[in-house]
Structure 1
Amino acid sequence: MTIEKANITDHEILTEITKKSKAYWGYSAEQILQWDKNLTITQEYIKDNYVFKLLSEDLTIGYYSYFIEEKQNVILDNLFVRPEYIGKGFGKYLMDDFLNRIRESKFEKITLDSEPNAEAFYSKVGFVKVGEFETSIKNRFMPIMEMKLKENTK
């Protein structure tokens, strides 16, 4: 397995992984369609952000993406794995690569908006819930999570 920078030509497979992975949590096809814009990875998105894919031979198993919000803060925007690989350590493999990449830099904090069903995964790897917001689905809240990378970060 290897992790490498995604190419703009990967936009369709990354979008497919995103939508199928989101649907894994029991969301209806209609709901996935309502979220289409947010779940679509465009060529421009790949060009403008840091996007890395996990490959096993020629198969893209999953990916993560992030962007820099401020000089010291990173937003983990996406971390998705094909549904048939969920719960088998591939998300952790991607997360470890992401954290190693970020820890080697000057960043102080990582923030993310978690899929509610993935909150336990992010907590397990060291993120802490710092807030939440209601989504387009009534009574469904997205946890806002962060991980401080430097002790002096407030």
Structure 2
Amino acid sequence: MGPQFVRAEPRDAPTLSALAWRAKKHWGYPEDWMQLWKGELTISPEDIERHEVIKIMGKARLAGFYALQNNERHHCTEIGHFWIEPACMGKGYGGMAFHHLLNKLRQKGEKRLIIESDPYAAGFYEKMGAQQIGRLESSISGRYLPVYEILLPDE
């Protein structure tokens, strides 16, 4: 049986923030960079109320989560967060969650998804069918993040 996908509740914010921190730290980033990203990795109860935040539950434990938000500049949806618990990486949770996310967007009639990716996640998004459309300067000077899109055709 695959993972369960459950809407997050505001009280989940500290748990989700801690998971995002562990997942980012997994890639060996320097501690000073991690501290700079602390705000970006923090999920607030208000974020959960304002955006669609979905927990990925596997075998009675939290395996990850994703958050979708409106990108008003591009008139589409973007991934605000997509994190897998390091102990659950490489076990298929990311792929199953990404397909869940895409199906949810198709059901809503969305046509386009934008992803500002961590460089370590770029290969995953490419494997999921995303096409790189640009890059964005990160909060670390001189470091750039790949930007991807997925077009969602009508089924």
State the TM-score, normalizing by the size of structure 1.
0.91
Q: Which sits farther off after the overlay, 36-45 or 54-63? A: 54-63
Instruction: Say which SS state the counterpart of residue 32 (structure 2) adopts.
Output: helix
- The answer on whether the counterparts of 1:127 and 1:145 sit within 8 Å (CA) in structure 2 is yes
What is the aligned counterpart of 2:28 among 26, 29, 32? 26
Q: Please say which of residues 26-35 and 75-84 is displaced more in the overlay.
A: 26-35
Separation in 2, partners of 1:117, 1:96: 20
* Partner residue, 1:102: 105
Aligned residues: 151
Aligned-residue offset at 1:89:
1.0
Of 125, 146, 151 in structure 2, the residue corresponding to residue 148 of structure 1 is 151
Aligned to 1:73: 76
Q: Pick from 39, 42, 45: which aligns with 2:41?
A: 39
Which of 115, 138, 145 is the aligned partner of 1:135?
Answer: 138
Identify which of 10, 17, 20 aligns with 2:19: 17
Q: Percent identity, please.
A: 27
Secondary structure, counterpart of 2:17 in structure 1: helix
Shift of residue 138, structure 1, vs aligned partner: 4.2
Length-normalised TM-score, structure 2: 0.90
Q: How far did 1:140 drift?
A: 2.3
Aligned to 1:124: 127
Contact preservation (8 Å) 1:72, 1:106: no
Deviations 1:28-70 (A, max 9, x none): 2221111111110000000000000011354211000001235
Task: Output the CA distance in 2 between the equivalents of 1:99 and 1:108.
Answer: 10
Pairwise CA distance, 1:88: 1.6
Which residue identity does 1:143 align to in structure 2? Answer: P
- Unaligned runs of 5+ residues in structure 2 are none
2:55 and 2:77 map into 1 onto residues whose CA distance is 18
Aligned residues: CA RMSD: 1.7
Matched, 1:53 2:79: no
